[in-house]
Amino acid sequence: MLKKIDASQLKVGMYIHDLSCDWMTHPFVRNRFVLRCESEIGKIRDAGIHDVVIDSARGLDVRDAPTVDEARARTEAELTVIAAKPVLVTRVSLGEELRRAAAIRHQAAGLVRTVMQDARLGKAIELDQVSPMVESITESILRNPGALTSLLRVKTADDYTFLHSVSVCTLLVAFCRARGLGAETTYQAGLGGLLHDTGKALVPNKVLNKPGALTEQEFAIVRRHPRDGYDILVKTPGIGPIPLDITLHHHERRDGSGYPDKQGEGAISELAQMAAIVDVYDAITADRCYHKGISAAEALRKIYEWSKFHFNPQYVQEFMRCVGIYPVGTMVMLGSGRLAVVIEPHPTNLLAPKVNVFFNTKTNVYIQPQTVDLSRAVGFGGGDKIVSHEAPAKWKVDPMRFISLV
């Protein structure tokens, strides 16, 4: 049986099923293993991991610990409260913005690739080339935040590093807007998001794209990238303090377990804390050579649970309202047994977005796609509800094919 326990309850002989953290947090070769010595328990705690999932059928048990299902149910109940808050209003339809967003995605990825290549060669980064792209991304977010964010969820091994930077920029701009931050602050944050991983230009490709687990030495190399990025950007004429701060501190955590400076809650700036949430969200939803990405909806639930220690809980809740409990592009199962893809959050109820239905799981056939507003009653275009978020791989379908009916 899978149970969720506090790291203080760990004992030698327990079987770790899930370390409940993003891949760059823990120093272990595997995510699942038997605890064989006290030093391994020490490593877990030193890494800032506060709760883990154990398999009581394969190791020692904690009798009164909640099961994974019980812990998940508690999280869902708490999210129901968070969901009843207003979100960003879109100005144009998803279908209308998708074509423009696709062009921005392509151009931005190419720009980040060039920035990385220049940094690797020791060339100065030219803000005159980067600034217009941040403005284009911001304009797309203003028109419809779901278009670009949904397209950026699709990444390949070859373009991950570049598209991750574009994603962080995009999500951070949307996050700033949702929190009501000023235009200049939002622009500077977007610039920081686009450039936050510049230091990875100095990480050897064989380490950055290694298909297996990193050694401790390789782990240390990767963890240098915030400082390396800061050292590169600080030489850039016209760069401001916000992009520098985001670059240096997007891996810091409230409990002091982050890097490079192990800053605690009071020392990490507002925008660096926001960037940390965005960075982890995008990273754990992407397929990489060393781990399978999880759904956006599941990623939000994990980040919400981690916010007890690693992230500012208020910021996490505001980010969830920004992107939606079920973000645009999420595949969901409806009570009717139909599969659908989320296309637009409801302005006041994140549990009842607009969706495009496209597959009937009861008959196992595709159906004529149609838009359903889950906030409406039967007879008024609704009458259904989300019962779970689904992994596209499980059903062997690509929900992005049905994200627009235009």
Residues 266-321 have pLDDT tens digits of: 899 999 999 999 999 999 998 876 677 888 999 999 999 999 899 999 999 999 98
Give the number of other CB atoms < 10 A from CB of residue 375. 17
208 confidence band (pLDDT: 50, 70, 90): confident
Mean pLDDT of 208-224: 86
Q: Is the peptide bond before 145 cis (omega within 30 degrees of 0)?
A: no
Predicted confidence (pLDDT) at residue 382 exceeds the cutoff of 70: no
How many angstroms separate the CA atoms of 282 and 296, rounded?
Answer: 8
Q: Position 71: which residue type?
A: A
Q: Name, in order, each residue with C-beta under 8 angstroms of 148's C-beta and a sequence gap of 6 or more.
A: 97, 101, 104, 105, 137, 140, 141, 170
Q: Is 60 exceeded by the pLDDT of residue 380?
A: no
Predicted confidence (pLDDT) at residue 116 exceeds the cutoff of 90 = yes
Instruction: Give 112 or 211, the one with higher predicted confidence.
Output: 112
* Bridge partners, 278 (sequence order): none
Across the beta sheet with 365-373, the strand order is 365-373, 354-360, 338-344, 331-334, 386-389
Q: How confident is the model at residue 121 (pLDDT cuts 50, 70, 90)?
A: very high
- Smallest Cα–Cα separation from 154: which of 400, 402, 403, 405? 400
pLDDT attached to residue 387: 92
**Which pair of tokens denotes residue 196?**
């936050």
Least confident of 1-5, 81-85, 175-179, 361-365: 81-85
Distances (CA, A) of 258 to 30, 295, 343: 20, 24, 35
What are 18's two structure tokens? 């899930």
Of 195, 166, 31, 9, nearest to 103 by C-alpha is 166
Contact predicate 342/327, CB 8 Å: yes
Calpha distance 23→31 (Å, rounded): 9
Is CATH 3.20.20.70 the classification given to domain 94-323?
no
The answer, yes or no, to whether residue 23 has pLDDT greater than 80, is no
Give the sheet arrangement for strand 2-6, strand by strand.
2-6, 51-55, 15-18, 33-34
Instruction: Please determine, for residue 112, whether its predicted confidence score (pLDDT) is greater than 90.
Output: yes
- Lowest-confidence region among 40-49, 55-64, 331-340: 40-49
Q: What is the pLDDT of residue 118?
A: 94
Strand bridging mode 386-389 / 331-334? antiparallel
Q: 97-106, 226-235, 383-392: which has the minimum mean pLDDT?
A: 383-392
Q: H helices then E strands: how many in the chain? A: 15, 9
Per-residue pLDDT tens digits for 135-192: 999 999 999 999 999 999 888 877 888 999 999 999 999 999 999 999 999 999 999 9
Residue 346: which pLDDT band, with cuts at 50, 70 and 90?
confident
Rounded distance between C-alpha atoms, residue 26 and residue 28, angstroms? 6
For helices 94-120 and 183-195, the axis angle rounded to 10 degrees is 60
Residue 248 has pLDDT above 60, yes or no: yes
> Sorting pLDDT into bands at 50, 70 and 90, what band is 263?
very high
Residue 91 confidence class, pLDDT cut points 50, 70, 90: confident
Helix boundaries (H) for 285-391: 296-306, 313-323
Average predicted confidence (pLDDT) for the chain: 90
Matching residue, tokens 């207003």 = 86
Residue ranges of domains in the chain = 2-66, 94-323, 331-402
Q: Which residue has the tokens 């050579």?
A: 289
Measured CA to CA, the distance from residue 194 to residue 192 in angstroms comes to: 6
Give the mean pLDDT of 36-48. Answer: 87
d(CA 354, CA 346): 7
Asked if pLDDT for residue 378 goes beyond 80, the answer is no
Asked if the model's pLDDT at residue 405 lies above 80, the reply is: no
Q: Measure the CA–CA gap between 382 and 161, rounded to whole angstroms.
A: 40
State percent of the chain over pLDDT 90: 64
The amino acid at 377? A
Q: How far does the chain reach from its first CA to its final CA, in angstroms?
A: 46
Q: The tokens 């690797």 sit on which residue?
A: 120
> Tokens 């906030």 appear where?
375
* Cβ atoms within 10 Å, residue 13: 11
- Residue type for position 215: T
Token pair for residue 193? 């998001």
In DSSP terms, 2 is beta-bridged to 55
Quickly count: other Cβ atoms within 10 Å of residue 30's Cβ.
9
Q: How many residues does the chain have?
A: 406
- Compute φ and ψ for 197, nearest 5 degrees: -105, 20
